[in-house]
Amino acid sequence: MNGMGFFKRLLGNHASETGHNGRMQQAASGTRMLVVDDSPTIRAVLGKMLGQEGYAVQKAVDGESAIELAKTEQPEVIFLDIVLPGINGFAVLRALRHDPLTQHIPIVMISGNQQATEQFYVQRFGADDFIKKPFGQREVQQAIDQLVRAGRLASRESAVTVPVAEVGEPGRAAPSYEEINDVVAGMAA
């Protein structure tokens, strides 16, 4: 695949992809995400993809800084490359899964290695998902969609505020547009 094709796939059109209810589920706007990759290109492109969707993105270039950021910043999702300088992604995954501060954080492993054995180890060590490089916006959104549907991330829809009950009527939802029209029509009669 040539370089331009790689970038087109990374930034590809995702509007046609849909989930079970007709569209992909998104995590709540502002969801904190950590991107861990030694490639500045992958960090920049994945960071841009996530940022365009309204997520707060932090980046790490190696396993040691990823573990530190995960402990101090408590991201809600980690995208973790397997091949890293220093300790590799498998070691980072194990360390995060064994630490009570980070064991609950969903982790999506990413790798350019096409071997199925890598996927086996990723699942065995407790990763939530695996994305092969080169990947596009669709694959990233599918990983987020699966985490939302599994209840690991709050959905954008569930983050919407519910109408407040009218004063003096506990438990009653705000009136609908039709109810307001009925009251106004009754007043005019």
Which of 172, 154, 152, 153 has the alpha carbon at shortest distance from 162?
172
Sheet with 77-81, strands from edge to edge, namely 56-60, 32-36, 77-81, 107-111, 129-132
Q: Per the domain annotation, does 129 fall within a domain? A: yes
CATH number at residue 97: 3.40.50.2300
Could you list the residue range(s) of the whole structural domain that residue 53 is in? 3-149
pLDDT in tens, 94-122: 999 999 999 999 999 998 876 656 666 66
More confident residue, 31 or 156: 31
Q: Per the domain annotation, does 120 fall within a domain? A: yes
Backbone angles phi, psi at 137, to 5 degrees: -55, -40
Q: Per the domain annotation, does 188 fall within a domain? A: no
Q: What is the pTM of this model?
A: 0.71
Both tokens of 155, joined, read 């959905």
d(CA 137, CA 145): 12
pLDDT in tens, 115-143: 656 666 666 778 999 888 889 999 999 99
Q: Per the domain annotation, does 175 fall within a domain? A: no
Number of domains making up the chain? 1
d(CA 68, CA 132): 25
Q: Per the domain annotation, does 44 fall within a domain? A: yes
Q: Per the domain annotation, does 121 fall within a domain? A: yes
User: Is the distance from CB of 80 to CB of 93 less than 8 angstroms?
Assistant: yes
Q: Per the domain annotation, does 77 fall within a domain? A: yes
Q: Per the domain annotation, does 173 fall within a domain? A: no
